[in-house]
Amino acid sequence: MSIEILFLIAILIMSVVLHEVAHGYAANKLGDPTARLQGRLTLNPLVHLDLFGSIIIPALLVLTHSPFLIGWAKPVPYNPYNFQKGGRWGEALVAGAGPAVNVVLALIFTIVVRVFADNPAVVELGFSVVLINVMLAIFNMIPIPPLDGSKILESILPAPLALQYGKVRQMLEINPFLGFGAVILFIVLFGGVFGNFIFSVTRALIGAY
């Protein structure tokens, strides 16, 4: 495995770790200490790594020249019944915290690339960080359970629709084969289009590359 592949996977791992820590931090701020008590509010990647989602899948995607790179860490546990703040928006706030961190990282490194545009090494690093975090932010906002977008969508739907959608979401989250099966189906059907869209957004942020 080349240094470039390891480099991309390392950026992905740190990005998904920050994504998951943000979920746990948001839940803790809303009154649920589950993630904190389980030691998940840490940047130590070993605590968050998922062998399949953090290493095997990203490596396969890179080796097969996939149009985009996706991966995940172990989901940070939380119990919405412990929330003391947020009301009906509690789960949406926790779900949105992960993609929000990825957006912030993408914007920070966009600025870095634009400031140091004459330094090829910085531009290459910054482009990779922006690309991966744009991908994570947008991909996780797709409303397919168990992705974060499903929790946000349920919070904004009218009550009757939210109830029905919530049942579907619960079914897919309880059975990971169904949930991730739907995600994989999306990747198979729309991976090329999605990858092109992610590259277009990244280029729009940092300029020509």
Residue of 20, 91, 154, 173 with catalytic role: 20
Task: Tally the C-alpha atoms within 13 A of residue 195's C-alpha that lie toward its C-beta.
Answer: 14
Query: What's the pLDDT tens digit per position in 2-42?
Result: 677 788 888 999 999 999 999 999 999 999 999 999 999 99
CA torsion angle 146 150 151 154 (round to 10): -140
Alpha-carbon dihedral angle through residues 189, 192, 197, 199, given to the nearest 10 degrees: 150
Residue extents of the structural domains in the chain:
3-206
Q: How far lies 204's CA from each of 5, 129, 150, 196, in Å?
A: 24, 15, 27, 12
**Structure token pair of residue 47:** 């605590």
- Amino acid present at 176: P
4 catalytic? Reply is: no
Residue 209: the pLDDT is: 61
State pLDDT tens for residues 134-157.
999 999 999 988 899 999 999 999
Structure-block tokens of residue 139: 């991909």
171 residue type, one letter: M
pLDDT in tens, 89-112: 999 999 999 999 999 999 999 999
Structure tokens at 63: 């080796």
Q: Render 86-149 in DSSP notation, one character per residue.
A: SGGGHHHHHHHHHHHHHHHHHHHHHHHHHHTTT-HHHHHHHHHHHHHHHHHHHHHTSSSTTSHH
What distance lies between CA 103 and its chain's CA centroid? 10
For the chain, give the percent of residues with pLDDT over 70: 98
Mean pLDDT, the chain, whole residue set: 89
Nearest C-alpha neighbor of 144 from the set 112, 108, 179, 116? 179
**Contact of 77 with 48, CB cutoff 8 Å:** no
3-state secondary structure of 12: helix
Length of the chain, please? 209
Distance CA 178, CA 81 (A): 25
